[in-house]
Structure 1
Amino acid sequence: MLNWQDHLIIAPVLLPLVTAALLLLYDERRRVLKSAISIVATFALFVVAIMLVNMANTPDDRVIPYLLGNWPAPYAIVLVLDRFSAMMVLLTSILGLAALCFSLARWHKVGSHFHTLFQLLLMGLNGAFLTGDLFNLFVFFEVLLAASYGLVLHGTGATRVKAGLHYIAVNLAASSLFLIGVSMIYGVTGTLNMADLAQRIPEVPAEDLMFLQAGGAILGTAFLVKAGAWPLNFWLPTTYTAAAAPVAALFAIMSKVGIYVLLRLSLLFFGELTPRTTGFGDAALFYIGLATIAFGLIGVLASQALGRIAGYSVLVSSGTLLAAIGTGNVAVTGSALFYMVSSTLTIAAFFLLIELVERGQDAAANVLAVTIEAYGDEEEEEEEEVGAVLPATLAILGACFAVSAILLIGLPPFSGFVAKISLLSALFNPAGMGTDTPISTASWVYVALIILSGVAALIAMSRSGIRTFWASMEGNVPRVLVIELVPVAALLFLCLALTIQAAPVMRYLDATAQALHRPHNYIDHVLDAKRSAGFEPMISTTPAAKGDAQ
């Protein structure tokens, strides 16, 4: 019998869905009311997410399946709560709350149905993290993509429309690959429930094994597109740069949907429980991750605009995580999860900050600054009086910029440093402390790229910071509202909190990694889930009826 807390598992899906439907009932002119409803619902989602993390954080690695319609697995539409899904729902709610607060200053007014699309995007993200079968993963994937299409086009400007249309075309192609891959897997196994698939894959006949692997590869390609993996990431920097600031901040978690699914499915379908396919695709993910880091750090170095630096930083983050998944090492996975949380919060804060920093700047002046930097200024200027009054707004923005730079580079004392040191430590000690396991050449390349990505961020952020705060050609002080500064400061403060509370956070993430690498607990809890007493499904669950349903 489920208790009332177990029913909270469906709340991250139902709450934004009901809120989105409610918001449609009100005219766009009632923006104050719609904003209030949206912010209350998103805060409630944040509270629910904290409760879900507490529910999942138990010594026995509790996995809680929620059987919709009270059907037993694998016939039920199953939502599954574990440490990993609870963490991703909490991260989504944090970014959603920050982005929504930021948008209340002006962005929610520049287009229709912003709050409705925002809530539907939250619904799709939460559903993708909680679902326990591939079919509903496709459904939630399409929901979040449909909402993101509207949000990426939110606002005006030819650049945004052009980037948005490219984004739509690429993701429609990815959705087609998703559907093809899922169909091939279902054709071989006869099921789409993730836990049931993990049990059936070892029993697939040898003649069908290649067909299964082909389906897995096509499905993986769809999520590599979403994760921004090279060479499928040409669309991401342009789209994220063109999107409105709160939309781009929330999109920082969307690239992690691909990472989440790849990590979850690779260990569930091709992990230790499937001897014939163990490690399938790991090498490809590792080398694709390395190529993505290299591409991203070159893009960071080559970018002059802050938005493009942030976009390419997303690629560096995705490449680091893909390579970590490809190692197949549980210690690396735990460190990579810490890095994912830290980098996602950092990049989201940076996207919001860019909007404030660049407000009031002249694009022509930026081009002129780059020209002067490259060729010099032939005209000699008269010496000016040294020293100037630094307005409080610029001081605050400069401090936030400096913290963001430190986080992106990976310097102490913030969580970016802790994440990279933890990741490097796991790579240098793949079998644990006190062992003499040699470090592979590929791991050395991975380490070198992680360090070089920090150097690239150091150069790019120093160059941009000097041009923006110390050598600004306009000298204009942007007008900034408190409601815009608070979300940026809050996200950066969370990164500081990750540093202070690194030990308990790492314990949680190490336990998450160990559970992912030993998926039998997940499988047993989902397939052995009992129906709730007193709630009968509409169709009989006799053996014959079950056979018909299948």
Structure 2
Amino acid sequence: MRDWLAHLAIAPILLPLLAGATMVLIEGRRPVKVVIGLASTTAMLAIAVALAFLADAAPGAAPAIVYRLGDWPAAFGIVLVVDRLAAMLLALAAALGLAALVFSLAHWHRVGAHFHPILQFQLMGLNGAFLTGDLFNLFVFFEVMLAASYGLVLHGSGTARVRAGLHYIAINLAASLLFLLGASLIYGAAGTLNMADLAARVPGLAPDARTLLETGAAILGTAFLIKAGMWPVGFWLPTTYAAATAPAAALLSMLSKVGIYALLRLWLLLFGAQAGASAGFGGDWLLVGGLLTIAFGTISVLATQDLPRLAGACVLVSSGTLLAAIGSGQVAVTAGALFYIASAVPAIGAFFLLIDILERGREVGADVLAVTAEAFGEGDEEEATEGEAVGLAIPGTLALLGAAFLACALLLAGLPPLSGFLAKFAMLGPLLGRSGIAGGPVPLLSWLVLAALVLSGLATVIAMTRTGINLFWGSFEDHLPRMRLTEIAPVVGLLLLCVGLTVLAGPALRYAEAAAGAAHAPQDYVRAVLHEVPRRAAPGRAAPGRDGARAGPGPGGAAPGMPDGVPDGARSAGRLPEGGA
């Protein structure tokens, strides 16, 4: 059974690949593509949830599954790694992909010929980026993801989408070039691109090789920061997401989290506490960059009067929050950041989908006209005449949309009682509580993070309140937006996911703490990936799976002649310094 479960690691990549390829071969027949897409995405969600439970049941901080394609050693072949962090993001991507797909069935999937295969390839790139264990294949899956995102941005045509799409393509091509350059420098310094192998070699690098490695890591990090949307290289994000169709924008919002994931994974593997002279490299830049991104996103939230751009600005605020939390370098803060990702991803996705419904009942320029009316004091002279009914009978549709908008506002602003507040509290508590443990004052940067999160939340409240008043008290007086069950159901489903995180905050935070602890102490990750599977299972250990699949390290520890679970040749080849990773 354990061997069979190990093969689940490759399923999130193979399923969308096969589904997308099949759709490409089918000319027309949109109903068939819909069935294939729903089956594939639903299966991906089920597999991702199963992997999350499997990863949570894994002993210690070791990954649940290390899957070696072709049974090649990790340093030479393709390796997929399933741990708590990867499994959580797989589940979020699948849930968001399913919601976007169902929402598109109302009408958006008919405005382009290849929407369904592009969505599947997008999910394939996302899943591969979360699962891969080496930089080269991370680049491959990044390119698959980006190529599909070009199609999603341009889906539906139109001048605005074409203009934003061309800018988006140019920026991401530049980021891909930086990715290649950075990976090449890292390979030149360390002689490997396997992430675990890199982590093992970094402490023992010579000073000149270390300088080359850090230069390559800085260039590679810039590529990730462009994708994450950090200021000033994230200027493209609000315009691009605002121009895309609603289901495309909802799924594209997950791409910024891929940049965050890559930074978190590589920074803690290569420059964590075990990295010797390179420990903590670039952490201050992440923290300061995160604060600047929060400031830029906060100004954007207050300045915009366009709903899609408001959602894009919220993506910037969330990216800045995560970068600042990761840059703090604390395990407890990283745990809060992971809980924040689990809350922000469905909240922002639901907001993008909800905006598409809300804007149907509005006139072009309604926000600008409303603000102008407020500035000049117009529209307030009407008084209720005697005998006229006071108030408005709110139909069920308007009540449902209003409740969904309120939930999005609470989640994005981080107000109680929903999970957005709990996530911010989980990040701020350790930042401000460390002084009580150490007996010293709270660091200045911790106060700056607190101020940034509070002010960004206040700005979001102001912007959402202003938008809600103009939207629900002015735009829908004459007519209500028409919607279908396939449109409102994904919005409600994503918001219920956030409600579930609120109700089950204890288990969710425990999972996030375990994932953060494993990420900050990657020795078990390194040993599990570099450990050569013995041809004959030792007593008390799980037998290796076929095709290089292996469920995490068995309770028996290292194989004979492999101290600490590391191959004999690893230490002599410079992979590990004396004393382990």
Q: Describe the SS at the equivalent of 2:254.
A: helix
- CA root-mean-square deviation: 1.8
Gaps of 5+ in 1: 538-542
Q: Please give the TM-score of this superposition, normalised by the length of structure 2.
A: 0.90
Q: What is the CA distance between 1:452 and its match in structure 2? A: 0.3
Q: What residue in structure 2 maps to residue 214 of structure 1?
A: 215
Give aligned pairs, total.
537
Q: What residue in structure 2 maps to residue 393 of structure 1?
A: 397
Q: What residue in structure 2 maps to residue 6 of structure 1?
A: 6
Q: What residue in structure 2 maps to residue 21 of structure 1?
A: 21
Gaps of 5+ in 2: 536-543, 549-568, 574-581
In 1, Cα distance between equivalents of 2:176 and 2:426: 35
In 1, Cα distance between equivalents of 2:228 and 2:253: 10
Which of 388, 402, 410 is the equivalent residue of 2:406? 402
CA contact (8 A) 1:67 1:531 kept: no
CA contact (8 A) 2:428 2:450 kept: yes
Q: What residue in structure 1 maps to residue 51 of structure 2?
A: 52
Q: What is the CA distance between 1:475 and its match in structure 2? A: 2.7
Give matches, 1:444-463, under 5 Å: 444-463=447-466
- One-letter amino acid matched to 1:359: R
Q: Deviations over 1:396-415 (max 9, x none)?
A: 10110011111111111100
Q: What is the CA distance between 1:156 and its match in structure 2? A: 2.6
In 1, Cα distance between equivalents of 2:56 and 2:532: 19
CA contact (8 A) 2:257 2:319 kept: yes
Q: Which has the higher contact order (CA 8 A, sep 6+)?
A: 2
Q: Deviations over 1:70-107 (max 9, x none)?
A: 10111110000111101110111110111111011111
Q: What residue in structure 1 maps to residue 538 of structure 2?
A: none
Q: What residue in structure 2 maps to residue 162 of structure 1?
A: 163
In 1, Cα distance between equivalents of 2:170 and 2:206: 37
Change (3 A) 1:35 1:245: same
- One-letter amino acid matched to 1:17: L
Is the aligned partner of 1:180 residue 2:181?
A: yes
Q: Deviations over 1:361-406 (max 9, x none)?
A: 2113333222212223289446464223222111110110011111
Q: What is the CA distance between 1:61 and its match in structure 2? A: 3.0
CA contact (8 A) 2:61 2:525 kept: no
Change (3 A) 1:535 1:126: closer
Q: What residue in structure 1 maps to residue 81 of structure 2?
A: 80
Q: What residue in structure 1 maps to residue 39 of structure 2?
A: 40
Q: Describe the SS at the equivalent of 1:471.
A: helix
Q: What residue in structure 2 maps to residue 540 of structure 1?
A: none
- Out of 250-259 and 129-138, give the one that drifted further: 250-259
- Out of 324-333 and 128-137, give the one that drifted further: 324-333
Q: Please give the TM-score of this superposition, normalised by the length of structure 1.
A: 0.95
Q: What residue in structure 1 maps to residue 443 of structure 2?
A: 440
Is the aligned partner of 1:429 residue 2:433?
A: yes
CA contact (8 A) 2:181 2:216 kept: yes
CA contact (8 A) 1:361 1:474 kept: no
Q: What residue in structure 2 maps to residue 476 of structure 1?
A: 479
Is the aligned partner of 1:488 residue 2:487?
A: no
In 1, Cα distance between equivalents of 2:440 and 2:67: 42
CA contact (8 A) 2:179 2:220 kept: yes
Q: What residue in structure 1 maps to residue 116 of structure 2?
A: 115
- One-letter amino acid matched to 1:177: L
In 2, Cα distance between equivalents of 1:50 and 1:379: 53
Q: What is the CA distance between 1:44 and its match in structure 2? A: 0.4
Change (3 A) 1:536 1:338: closer
Is the aligned partner of 1:518 residue 2:517?
A: no
CA contact (8 A) 2:6 2:545 kept: no
Identity within the alignment, %: 56
Q: What is the CA distance between 1:116 and its match in structure 2? A: 0.2
Q: Deviations over 1:194-250 (max 9, x none)?
A: 000111112221122211111000000000000000000110001111111011111
Q: Describe the SS at the equivalent of 1:320.
A: helix
Is the aligned partner of 1:251 residue 2:260?
A: no
Is the aligned partner of 1:285 residue 2:286?
A: yes
- One-letter amino acid matched to 1:450: L
Change (3 A) 1:436 1:536: closer
